[in-house]
């Protein structure tokens, strides 16, 4: 009988972790963790079965590879996010400024005190719904959400979290308002109204589809009037403190050579003669004092020129979009637009093709003419069907 009892006890002995009953009558559970330390349940249990259930959960997380040291996830999002920002020397200065602003304004105030271990998809859905409802016309919540998701992806890679809780369906997708497209005659009026040293800049922004930073970083030796091309391999970035720094484009696709019309090459030739120093690395577009061009200083000149031309609500960047739309109407493919605009993916380039309805109608009319011509052609009498025996 005693041997039978010992066999039953041996058969029911726990293979993972241990439980013991305390003098108080409650049960304590513990186990040896993958990091070599003994982990004790943060609370005691009224029943042995409850302690065993806690151990089974720990064993399951270890076997699945999702176990994490509990103390790591007890760190607050504010502490981890601030550290994440300081550990990103790879970020461009302007990008770092943007991330720091999003962090201070949108994430840290509400989510900073929250422990990483208590974050869940539901809590992020609640934050997203509240933030979007309070700021329906802003794209900043989308940017902040993407930043938070990147931070918590890193927390997963660091072994702090088993999965990223920042998962909200449809969140983070910006739906910017449709921007206006101006016609060539309107661009010509703005170019005539603006200070003469910026006339070529306005035309190059439109007919070359260049960004402001690419124009502000353009050097004399990147302008090839003989072959009618402008080489883009540098851009100017204005920081929050007013400094202008120069760097390479964000992606390899941004490094490109853009062909320009002969008419624009003539305008550039005159601009180089009148407003640009002879040095190969001289900036093509500068302030009247010869300093690097700053967007904040240029904005007042741009608005004044638009007002003089009778055009309102137009941003300088809209010239780039307008030029891309013109290129699409000439028959440029998505791949050609990507190359011209310096995009690595077709998503943005395809935006400029949606405005080519008139061209699509013209194509349809030409197809209709082919259809009519086919219908008007004389038809020969039907030939008899001849059976061919093999």
- Profile the chain (390 residues) by mean pLDDT over runs of 10 residues: 45 76 94 88 92 91 79 84 92 91 95 92 94 90 95 90 90 75 93 96 95 96 95 92 89 89 94 96 95 94 96 94 87 85 79 59 69 67 53
Give residue 178's pLDDT: 72
Dihedral in degrees, nearest 10, Cα atoms 268, 298, 195, 287 = -70
**Tokens describing residue 37:** 């330390």
**Tokens describing residue 370:** 């082919």
**Is 125 annotated in the active site?**
no
**Which residue among the candidates 14, 88, 92, 317 is catalytic per the annotation?**
317
CA torsion sign for 182, 187, 188, 189 is: positive
Give residue 9's pLDDT: 43
* Residue 67 to residue 304: CA distance in whole angstroms: 62
* Residue 75 to residue 240: CA distance in whole angstroms: 31
**Which residue among the candidates 211, 256, 271, 275 is catalytic per the annotation?**
211
**Is 198 annotated in the active site?**
no
Q: Which residue has the tokens 């040095």?
A: 279
The helices-and-strands tally (H runs, E runs) of the chain is 16, 8
Give residue 62's pLDDT: 85
**Among 157, 146, 261, which Cα is nearest to 206's?**
261
Dihedral in degrees, nearest 10, Cα atoms 145, 151, 154, 158 = -130
**Among 63, 142, 72, 77, which Cα is nearest to 111's?**
77
285 CB neighbour count, 10 Å cutoff: 21
Secondary structure of residue 284 in the 3-state scheme = coil
**Which residue among the candidates 189, 199, 275, 320 is catalytic per the annotation?**
320
Give residue 276's pLDDT: 96
- This prediction has a pTM of 0.66
- Strand arrangement, sheet containing 38-40: 18-21, 27-32, 38-40
Give residue 355's pLDDT: 52
Give residue 249's pLDDT: 87
Q: Which residue has the tokens 């000149």?
A: 301
**Is 80 annotated in the active site?**
no
Give residue 382's pLDDT: 47
Long-range contacts of 298-302 (CB under 8 A, 24+ apart): 298/198, 298/212, 301/194, 301/195, 301/198, 302/194
Give residue 176's pLDDT: 59
**Is 31 annotated in the active site?**
no
**Is 275 annotated in the active site?**
no
């Amino acid at each position: 009988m005693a041997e039978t009892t010992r066999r039953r006890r041996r058969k029911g002995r726990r293979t993972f972790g241990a439980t013991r009953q305390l003098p108080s009558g409650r049960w304590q559970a513990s186990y040896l963790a993958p990091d070599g330390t003994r982990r004790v349940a943060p609370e005691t249990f009224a029943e042995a079965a409850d302690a065993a259930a806690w151990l089974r959960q720990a064993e399951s997380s270890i076997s699945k590879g999702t176990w994490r040291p509990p103390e790591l996830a007890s760190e607050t999002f504010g502490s981890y996010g601030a550290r994440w920002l300081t550990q990103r020397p790879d970020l461009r200065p302007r990008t770092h400024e943007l991330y720091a602003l999003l962090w201070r304004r949108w994430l840290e105030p509400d989510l900073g005190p929250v422990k990483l271990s208590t974050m869940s998809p539901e809590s992020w859905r609640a934050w997203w719904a509240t933030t979007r409802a309070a700021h329906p016309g802003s794209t900043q919540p989308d940017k902040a959400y993407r930043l938070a998701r990147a931070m918590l992806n890193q927390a997963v890679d660091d072994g702090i979290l088993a999965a990223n809780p920042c998962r909200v369906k449809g969140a983070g997708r910006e739906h910017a308002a449709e921007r206006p497209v101006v016609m060539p005659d309107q661009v010509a009026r703005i170019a005539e109204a603006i200070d003469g040293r910026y006339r070529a800049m306005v035309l190059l922004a439109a007919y070359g589809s260049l960004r402001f930073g690419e124009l502000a970083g353009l050097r004399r030796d990147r302008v090839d009037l003989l072959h009618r091309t402008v080489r883009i391999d540098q851009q100017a970035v204005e920081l929050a403190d007013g400094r202008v720094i120069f760097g390479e484009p964000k992606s390899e696709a941004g490094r490109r050579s853009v062909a320009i019309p002969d008419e624009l090459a003539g305008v550039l030739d005159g601009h180089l003669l009148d407003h640009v120093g002879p040095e190969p690395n001289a900036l093509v577009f500068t302030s009247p004092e010869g300093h690097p061009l700053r967007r904040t200083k240029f904005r007042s000149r741009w608005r004044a020129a638009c007002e003089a031309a009778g055009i309102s609500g137009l941003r300088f960047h809209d010239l780039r979009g307008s030029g891309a739309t013109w290129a699409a109407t000439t028959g440029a493919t998505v791949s050609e637009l990507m190359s011209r605009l310096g995009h690595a993916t077709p998503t943005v380039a395809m935006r400029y093709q949606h405005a080519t309805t008139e061209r699509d109608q013209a194509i349809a009319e030409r197809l209709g003419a082919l259809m009519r011509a086919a219908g008007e052609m004389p038809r020969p009498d039907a030939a008899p069907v001849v059976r061919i025996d093999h």
